[in-house]
Homo-oligomer: A and B are copies of this chain.
Amino acid sequence: ALSAEASKVRDALIKHGLETPMIDNGLTTEEKYQRIKSAFEDVVYTLGLDLTDDSLCETPHRIAKMYVKEIFSGLDYSQFPKITVIENKMKVDEMVKVSDISFTSTCEHHFVTIDGLAKVAYLPKNKIIGLSKINRIVRFFGQRPQVQERLTQQVLVTLQTLLETDNVAVSIDATHYCVKARGVMDASSSTQTTALGGLFKRSDKTRSEFLAK
């Protein structure tokens, strides 16, 4: 069974049309691991690599483990972080901002790494969230195949849901290795995306306080 927070977040993402497009295939984690391992045995063979070599023989196993337990583990809401939210008894009414949250993700178009920094802020209403939980939420959604725009929105709606306020802002600056290591091979570009709610969207002052370094 999922935690109350995980269910609430999933429902909110579905309601906003922001859920990662999934279908229930009924496979267990072990079945997923086995199928991905077999698929990569075929890929390694097809590329002409020698699967009996000691450096390559474990590659299908490693990739299957990595897909199921690591880089795509955020598809599974049972992995949603335990969230600590406390009452705003100290009446904080100014912005709480966390900068330079380092995370990685995987481009859903090429299954290639995205390397990024996130900035997250909110104006506390009744609730205060444990600081590390903000990083954990960014990482959880990073552990999915992603497009950067959706990742940014998913973090926004998750925090709005948990903090029970619209006044949340998220911005992400990321390097996409599908742009750097292949295709256009752009050595230095990065992509910025922003998702603003409530006052961060409506008030020029709040908006620019967030967007400023």
Check: A23 CB closer than 8 A to any chain B CB. Answer: yes
- Tell whether, in the assembled complex, residue B50 and residue A22 are in contact, meaning their CB atoms are under 8 Å apart: yes
Known: A39-B40, A113-B177, A181-B113. A47 touches B59 (CB 8 A): no
- Tell whether, in the assembled complex, residue B113 and residue A21 are in contact, meaning their CB atoms are under 8 Å apart: no
- Tell whether, in the assembled complex, residue B39 and residue A25 are in contact, meaning their CB atoms are under 8 Å apart: no
What is the oligomeric copy number?
Answer: 2
Q: Which residues of B contact A201 (CB under 8 A)?
A: none
Check: A93 CB closer than 8 A to any chain B CB. Answer: no
Check: A18 CB closer than 8 A to any chain B CB. Answer: no
Q: Which residue of B lies closest to A76 (CB)?
A: B48
Q: Which residues of B contact A67 (CB under 8 A)?
A: 43, 47
Q: Which residue of B lies closest to A105 (CB)?
A: B181
- Tell whether, in the assembled complex, residue A55 and residue B183 are in contact, meaning their CB atoms are under 8 Å apart: no
Q: Which residues of B contact A25 (CB under 8 A)?
A: 45-46, 48
Known contacts A47-B67, A59-B145, A71-B182; can you find 18 more A-B pairs with CB under 8 A? A20-B49, A21-B49, A22-B48, A22-B50, A23-B48, A25-B46, A35-B46, A40-B43, A47-B75, A47-B145, A49-B108, A55-B109, A55-B147, A56-B108, A59-B111, A62-B109, A66-B178, A177-B177
4 A-B pairs closest in CB distance: A104-B181, A21-B53, A21-B50, A39-B39
User: Can you show 29 pairs from A to B with CB atoms below 8 A apart?
Assistant: A20-B49, A21-B53, A21-B55, A21-B56, A24-B48, A25-B46, A25-B48, A27-B46, A32-B47, A35-B42, A35-B43, A39-B39, A39-B40, A39-B46, A40-B43, A40-B111, A43-B67, A47-B75, A47-B145, A49-B75, A49-B145, A55-B109, A55-B147, A59-B145, A63-B110, A66-B178, A71-B181, A113-B181, A115-B177
